[in-house]
Amino acid sequence: ETGVTQSPTHLIKTRGQQVTLRCSSQSGHNTVSWYQQALGQGPQFIFQYYREEENGRGNFPPRFSGLQFPNYSSELNVNALELDDSALYLCASSLGGGRVADTQYFGPGTRLTVL
């Protein structure tokens, strides 16, 4: 069984640029959730994708967008980067689209630094 993987591990961008982060879900999982974790904080929910459709969204602006592919891997895109976007971005996979009680399993994260 393959766990959740994310790429890249680290990324440095400048303000105003765009970034794409990638996530491969755990084998057999059809749901991917993205979280932003600032230093010293808990993960904040960005959005969730279930079977290629957005299934829920947290309090993040439209410049945060995503995509899920037929193999259930996912991308997080952030446009017009701001300094406050510097954080650890976590991807979590699960089975059930958030409609049933299931456990999320996290990838190692992507550390984004915006200068």
Partner 1 sequence: GQNIDQPTEMTATEGAIVQINCTYQTSGFNGLFWYQQHAGEAPTFLSYNVLDGLEEKGRFSSFLSRSKGYSYLLLKELQMKDSASYLCAVRWASGGSYIPTFGRGTSLIVHP
Question: Does 111 help bind partner 1 (rule: CB under 8 A)?
Answer: yes
DSSP secondary structure letters along 32-85: EEEEEE-TTS--EEEEEEETTEEEEE-S--TTEEEEE-TTS-EEEEE-S--GGG
Question: Does 109 help bind partner 1 (rule: CB under 8 A)?
Answer: yes
Question: Does 64 help bind partner 1 (rule: CB under 8 A)?
Answer: no
Residue 41 phi/psi, 5-degree rounding, is -120, 165
Nearer to partner 1, 16 or 45 (CB): 45
Nearest distance in Å: CB 48, partner 1: 6
- Single out the segment in contact with partner 1 by CB under 8 A; choices: 22-30, 60-68, 71-79, 92-100: 92-100
